[in-house]
C-alpha cells in the first residue's frame, strides 16, 4: 500500500470512529467523582499554561473565583497568593476529557455535565454547567455576583438537573440536528438547541422536578445547550484518538495567549502558536484595543463542523461572517470539511472531519466563532467575533506525523 493511500485510510478511520460516536447526556456528577485527578487543581481552556505569569487576566479572575468557591482561600489576596504559589495544579481541560468555554475554570467540587458514548458506554466526556446570562464565570470577571451565580448553579440547579436527567438520558446529536435544521449554528447561536433541551428537561420533570427559579433559568438561558454540545463533541473526538498515522484534529482551543491543536495519532501532544484576538465586524476602537487573544475550548465545535463552519446552515451567522471576511480581507475555507455525518439527517449540508493534511493543502484553517473578552478582565464579554485559525499548529502537527512515519 502506498504512503498516500495509507494516510488517507488513517484519516478516514479516525473520522469513521468520530461519527460513529453517540453522545448522550446521562447524569450530573462532581469533578472530584469523575475525573482521575487528586488534590487541588483547576482545569482551563486551550493548551497547557506553562508559566503562571502568562495567565490572562480574565482567566485569572475565573481561577480566583473557583478558588473562593472551593473555600481554599477567603479573599482575593489569599486566592491570588495560592494560585501563583503553584500549590494549585493547572491542567488543560481537554487533556482530561473536558471542555470549558471561554475563560471558565473547573474545580473539584463543581458539578459537571456527564456525556456518555452510547456506542461505547465507558467513554465519557464532561463540561461545566452553562451559567446562563448575567454575572457568569466564563467571561472572566471578578465579582461577588459571579461567585453567587456559581454557587447557585452548583448547589441549587445541579441537584435538580440530576434528579431529572437520571429519569432518562438525552441524545445530543438529535438535538443539534434539529437546531441546525432551523438556523442555529450550535456555537454563536444556540437558541433553538437550548429551547429543545429545556423542553426535554421540563417534559421529564413534570410538575415536581424543578422549582420556579430553575424553570425560569432553563426557559431564558439561550446558551445552555453550548456546554452540552461542547462535551458531546469532545466525546466524539475521544472516539477518534489513537489512530496511527491520522492527522484528524481531536483537540483545539485557546487559552488567551496561545492557540493549539492535537491530532488523532498523537493524543496529549499540543501543537501551539500565538493566539490573536478574534475579528469583529465593524468593531469600535475599544473592542480592537481591549480584545483578548482567542480563548475557549468551544473551538472544538467549529472543528467538528458547527459554529462558523456551519454557516451554510445558519443564515445570520453566514451574513456576519461574510461581512468579517470582506472587512478584513479573509477567505473562508469552504472545502476544509468533507465528510457528511450519518446521524445528522435534518441538517444535510453538515460536514465534519477536520484534518491537518487538508488544512495544509488548502493553506486555510477553520474559522471559529468566539466570544471576545476584555483582556483587562473588567468588562467581560465585549462582542462576538471570528477567529481565523493560523496554519502553524496544523503544519507542525503534520511535520511531526511525517517525521514519525519516516523509515528509520
Separation of alpha carbons 169 and 326, rounded Å: 43
DSSP secondary structure string for all residues of 168-179: S-EEHHHHHHHH
Q: State residue 408's pLDDT score.
A: 43
Segments of 256-340 assigned E as strands: 258-263, 271-274, 295-296, 339-340
Separation of alpha carbons 238 and 264, rounded Å: 9
pLDDT in tens, the chain (408 residues): 577 788 889 999 999 999 999 999 999 999 999 999 999 999 999 999 999 999 999 999 999 999 999 999 999 999 999 999 999 999 999 999 999 999 999 999 999 999 999 999 999 999 999 999 889 999 999 999 999 999 999 999 999 999 999 999 999 999 999 999 999 999 999 999 999 999 999 999 988 889 999 999 999 999 999 999 999 999 999 999 999 999 999 999 999 999 999 999 999 999 999 999 999 999 999 999 999 999 999 999 999 999 999 999 999 999 999 999 999 999 999 999 999 999 999 998 999 999 999 999 999 999 999 999 999 999 999 999 999 999 999 999 999 998 887 654
Q: State residue 1's pLDDT score.
A: 59
Residue pair 317/189 in contact by the 8 Å Cβ criterion: yes
Separation of alpha carbons 235 and 232, rounded Å: 5
Short-list 125, 56, 116, 128, CA closest to 374: 56
Rg value, the chain, Cα: 20
Grid cell for residue 53: 505569569
Sign of CA dihedral 115, 117, 121, 125: negative
Short-list 194, 195, 125, 171, CA closest to 344: 171
Segments of 54-183 assigned E as strands: 89-92, 98-99, 105-106, 111-117, 120-128, 170-171
Q: What angle do CA 65, 69, 75 make, to 5 degrees?
A: 65
Separation of alpha carbons 250 and 355, rounded Å: 9
Cβ neighbours, 10 Å, residue 75: 10
Q: Sheet containing 258-263: which strands, arranged edge to edge?
A: 271-274, 258-263, 249-255, 295-296
Q: Could you state, in order of their start, the residue ranges of all structural domains in the chain?
A: 23-232, 242-405
Short-list 228, 245, 299, CA closest to 47: 299
Q: State residue 406's pLDDT score.
A: 67
For the chain, how many helices (H) and strands (E)?
A: 15, 16
Q: What angle do CA 399, 10, 353 make, to 5 degrees?
A: 85
Q: State residue 282's pLDDT score.
A: 94
From residue 82, how far is each of 40, 70, 71, 235 by CA, in Å?
10, 12, 12, 33
First vs last Cα of the chain: how many Å apart? 18
Which uninterrupted H or E stretch holds 382? strand 381-388
Q: State residue 218's pLDDT score.
A: 96
H helix runs in 221-365, sequence order:
224-239, 285-290, 299-303, 315-328, 356-362
Q: What is the CATH code for 23-232?
A: 3.90.1710.10
CA dihedral (123, 39, 112, 229) in degrees, to 10, reads -60
pLDDT tens sequence across 171-209: 999 999 999 999 999 999 999 999 999 999 999 998 888
Short-list 157, 242, 226, 148, CA closest to 194: 226
In words, the CATH class of domain 242-405 is alpha beta
Amino acid at each position: 500500500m502506498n504512503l498516500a493511500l495509507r494516510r488517507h485510510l488513517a484519516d478516514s478511520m479516525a473520522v469513521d470512529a468520530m461519527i460513529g460516536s453517540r453522545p448522550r447526556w446521562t447524569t450530573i456528577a462532581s469533578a472530584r467523582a469523575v475525573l482521575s485527578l487528586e488534590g487541588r487543581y483547576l482545569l482551563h481552556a486551550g493548551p497547557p499554561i506553562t508559566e503562571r505569569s502568562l495567565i490572562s487576566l480574565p482567566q485569572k479572575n475565573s481561577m480566583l473565583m473557583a478558588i473562593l468557591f472551593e473555600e481554599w482561600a477567603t479573599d482575593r489576596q489569599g486566592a491570588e497568593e495560592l494560585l501563583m504559589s503553584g500549590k494549585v495544579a493547572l491542567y488543560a481541560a481537554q487533556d482530561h476529557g473536558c471542555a470549558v468555554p471561554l475563560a471558565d475554570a473547573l474545580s473539584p467540587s463543581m458539578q459537571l455535565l456527564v456525556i456518555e458514548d452510547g456506542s461505547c458506554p465507558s467513554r465519557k466526556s464532561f463540561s461545566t454547567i452553562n451559567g446562563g446570562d448575567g454575572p457568569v464565570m466564563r467571561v472572566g470577571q471578578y465579582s461577588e455576583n459571579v461567585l453567587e451565580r456559581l454557587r447557585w448553579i452548583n448547589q441549587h440547579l445541579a441537584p435538580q438537573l440530576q434528579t431529572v436527567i437520571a429519569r432518562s438520558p438525552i441524545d445530543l446529536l438529535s438535538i443539534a440536528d434539529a437546531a441546525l435544521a432551523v438556523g442555529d449554528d450550535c456555537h454563536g447561536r444556540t437558541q433553538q438547541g437550548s429551547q429543545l433541551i429545556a423542553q426535554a428537561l421540563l417534559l421529564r420533570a413534570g410538575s415536581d422536578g424543578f422549582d420556579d427559579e430553575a424553570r425560569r433559568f432553563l426557559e431564558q438561558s439561550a446558551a445552555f445547550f453550548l456546554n452540552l454540545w461542547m462535551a458531546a463533541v469532545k466525546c466524539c473526538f475521544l472516539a477518534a484518538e489513537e489512530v496511527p498515522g491520522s492527522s484528524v484534529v481531536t483537540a483545539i482551543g485557546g487559552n488567551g495567549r496561545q492557540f493549539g491543536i492535537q491530532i488523532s495519532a498523537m493524543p496529549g501532544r499540543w501543537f501551539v502558536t500565538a493566539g490573536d484576538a478574534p475579528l469583529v465586524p465593524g468593531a469600535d476602537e475599544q473592542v480592537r484595543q481591549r480584545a483578548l487573544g482567542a480563548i475557549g475550548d468551544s473551538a472544538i465545535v467549529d472543528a467538528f463542523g458547527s459554529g462558523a463552519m456551519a454557516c451554510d446552515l445558519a443564515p445570520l451567522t453566514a451574513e456576519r461572517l461574510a461581512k468579517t471576511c470582506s472587512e478584513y480581507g479573509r477567505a473562508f475555507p469552504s472545502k476544509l470539511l468533507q465528510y457528511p455525518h450519518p446521524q445528522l439527517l435534518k441538517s444535510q449540508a453538515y460536514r465534519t472531519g477536520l484534518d491537518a493534511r487538508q488544512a495544509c493543502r488548502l493553506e486555510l484553517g477553520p474559522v471559529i466563532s468566539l466570544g471576545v473578552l476584555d483582556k483587562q478582565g473588567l468588562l467581560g464579554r465585549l462582542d462576538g467575533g471570528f477567529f481565523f485559525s493560523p496554519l502553524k499548529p496544523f503544519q507542525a502537527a503534520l511535520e511531526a506525523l511525517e517525521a514519525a512515519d519516516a523509515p528509520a
